[in-house]
Amino acid sequence: MQLLTPRLSLRLLTEADADFILALLNDPAFLQYIGDKNVRSLEDARQHIQDGPLAMYRSHGYCLLRVALRDTDQAIGLCGLLKRDYLDHPDLGYAFLPAGRGAGYAQEAIQAVLANADATGLKQILAYCQSDNQASIRQLERAGFSSLGPFKLEGSTDNLVLFQRIPND
């Protein structure tokens, strides 16, 4: 699976992306807004790729994709769809390293993922983020998501906001 935009290339992760995954999953913003995935070594990162994104792709046909700059192939983030047991519909997920923030890359990647979802017939996409993550809330609103209000995960104290996007037919 590969998606291309004018500036970005999105593709499935491989074990060769372990160093990137290790860096991203230990980035302070990732830890603050998404959480600690306990990935502390390259071996942990390789296992995370296999058990997370690639397993989801095999089960559902979509997953988080590696986002890289087209001209250099520098990995700058992840963006894609996930299917979680506690949500009725797929949800959009994304995270970017500092080098990928502030230049519109997240919105470009989100639009590519949503266009692909529309093309494959996924009618409703959800998303959620922490209620104090204003940057993520702005990204979701820019991408056409509407807030459904506060959302709690069982066993979590995080204050989350749930969003939905239904494409125009």
CATH, residue 101? 3.40.630.30
Per the CB < 8 A criterion, the answer to whether 87 and 126 are in contact is yes
Band of pLDDT at residue 125, cut at 50, 70 and 90: very high
User: 3-class SS at 84?
Assistant: coil
CA angle centred on 82, ends 80 and 85, rounded to 5°: 170
Mean pLDDT lowest among 54-63, 96-105, 160-169: 160-169
Q: What is the pTM of this model?
A: 0.94
User: What whole-number percentage of the chain has pLDDT above 90?
Assistant: 89
Give me the number of domains the chain comprises: 1
Band of pLDDT at residue 155, cut at 50, 70 and 90: confident
Instruction: List strand residue ranges (DSSP E) for 22-74, in order.
Output: 64-69
Task: Please write the tens of the pLDDT for every residue from 97-106.
Answer: 999 999 999 9
Range of 115's domain?
2-165
Q: How many CB atoms lie within 10 A of CB 50?
A: 12
Select from 125, 78, 137, 126 the least CA-distant residue to 105: 78
Task: Tell whether the model's pLDDT for residue 169 goes beyond 70.
Answer: no
Whole-number Å distance between alpha carbons of 36 and 9: 26
